[in-house]
Amino acid sequence: MMIRLDGQVAIVTGAGGGLGRAHALLLARRGARVVVNDMGEGADAVAAEIVAAGGEAVAAVGSVIDVDFVDRMVADAHRTWGRIDILVNNAGILRDRSFARMELDDFRQVIEVHLMGAVICTKAVWDIMRGQAYGRIVMTTSSSGLYGNFGQSNYGAAKMALVGLMQTLGLEGEKYNIRVNCLAPTAATQMMEGLMPEETVQLIRPEYVSPAVLALVQADAPNRAIIAAGARSFEAARISLTRGVHVGGELDDLPEALLERWDEVVDPADDFVPRHAFEQSRLELEKAGQTPGEA
């Protein structure tokens, strides 16, 4: 059955080009009314493209780290269309450099746009989604955050922070039917210009990522998933916990005893994905012979 978003209202940040544009166009084709946010005139162009194709869209030109602007953008959309169903936090910047050569301002700026931009936009829609008992939010993470990438300590830190934000908001929003997920895209965008040959660029067009966004914002969307997408391929990333070992013994002997059993600690056999943070302490207490109460 085709996924439809008729009557729903979506905000897509950083949608003036690249991934955000592809997300906005797909959501509009499936019936959503779209707020196209970006810093420049690209937002107007994408909104006009949607309208020309028979959809509904408005441009919202401004920065996701400008709280007043974001509040106005959300209020305007809510006043115009009566609800906010979908938020895709896509806006971002790069300031790549090895950590030894990176200026702290470049670190702060990337954290501010990626992490705080998503926080500010999510905060602006959160009460609306709670009040209507429905919301779908996508955070844009990255394999650079999940697994690391040389020269991207700032970007990787911001992107992994978004996973932590997603995990907690997914728990807090669950009873209000707000589902929060992460997308880790592989796509040729302006941020990657000149880094790869043209044939590779064609394989990893942004349009091949956006179907994952649609899956993460539809009515039966998962909650707290991390979906990787690129080149028409899709994977799920997991943050798992090994079963580990209970070392025991005297306190002074624990460091050496831990090293002796290190291979058991990191053995991935039977690892699992904790439902929440207390699963770690539950596992550790159970191995120590305790039966913790329900968290």
For the record, the structure tokens of 123 come out as: 């905060």
| 47 neighbors 57 (Cβ within 8 angstroms) | yes
pLDDT for the residue 90 = 98
Provide the CB-side half-sphere exposure for 204 (13 A, CA).
18
- Give the three-class secondary structure for 7: coil
For the residues 156-179, what does the mean pLDDT come to?
Answer: 98
Q: Any idea where the domains of the chain sit in the sequence?
A: 9-237, 240-295
| 180 neighbors 139 (Cβ within 8 angstroms) | yes
pLDDT at 191 over 70: no
For the record, the structure tokens of 41 come out as: 């005139």
Q: What's the pLDDT tens digit per position in 123-138?
A: 999 999 999 999 999 9
Query: Predicted confidence band at 195 (pLDDT cuts at 50, 70, 90)?
Result: low
pLDDT at 201 over 90: no
Query: Predicted confidence band at 294 (pLDDT cuts at 50, 70, 90)?
Result: very low
In the chain the beta strands, taken as DSSP E runs, fall at 9-12, 33-38, 57-61, 86-89, 135-140, 178-185, 226-230, 233-237
With a pLDDT cut of 70, the percent of the chain lying above it is 96
Torsion of CA 53, 56, 61, 67, to 10 degrees: -150
Q: What's the pLDDT tens digit per position in 40-77?
A: 999 999 999 999 999 999 999 999 999 999 999 999 99
- Architecture of domain 9-237 in CATH? 3-Layer(aba) Sandwich (3.40)
For the record, the structure tokens of 161 come out as: 């922070």
Residues 6+ apart with CB under 8 A from 143: 149, 184, 186, 228
pLDDT for the residue 197 = 79
pLDDT at 295 over 90: no
Q: What is the DSSP letter of 196?
A: S
Query: Predicted confidence band at 283 (pLDDT cuts at 50, 70, 90)?
Result: very high
Q: Catalytic residue numbers? A: 155
Q: Quick count: other Cβ atoms within 10 Å of Cβ 32?
A: 27
